[in-house]
A = this chain, B = another copy of it.
């Protein structure tokens, strides 16, 4: 598929898809005319990338991580170096703390929302 369809199907802007490619997160074939041509699998990959960005990882770390990820198709995956593993453990712990904070914040919002609902019957 071409970039417009991938953008539509993932909800990620064309600008960002080109940026991902520039950062080495996403590869694309090119048509003879130079336009990007993505495989079906790109949809999942872009969604993963988006999630990792949302989790606060920087593109450089995502680039290191991606080859080690088991894809849905179960393709061969590289093994993370000890150095990378240490980084990933730190990231995972940070994400865990982040999740805790997010749950707290959601509960706070729920509390305010419910209080307002109740105060109006």
Contacts and interface: CB of A to CB of B under 8 A. Distances in A.
Number of copies of this protein chain within its complex = 2
B99 A103 contact: yes
Given A69-B111, A88-B113, A113-B92, A51 B119 contact: no
Interface in A2-25: none
A55 interface: yes
Interface residues of A, number: 41
A1 to B, nearest CB: 23
Interface of A: 48, 50-52, 54-55, 57, 65, 68-70, 77, 79-80, 82, 84-85, 88-89, 91-92, 95-96, 98-99, 101-106, 108-113, 115-117, 119
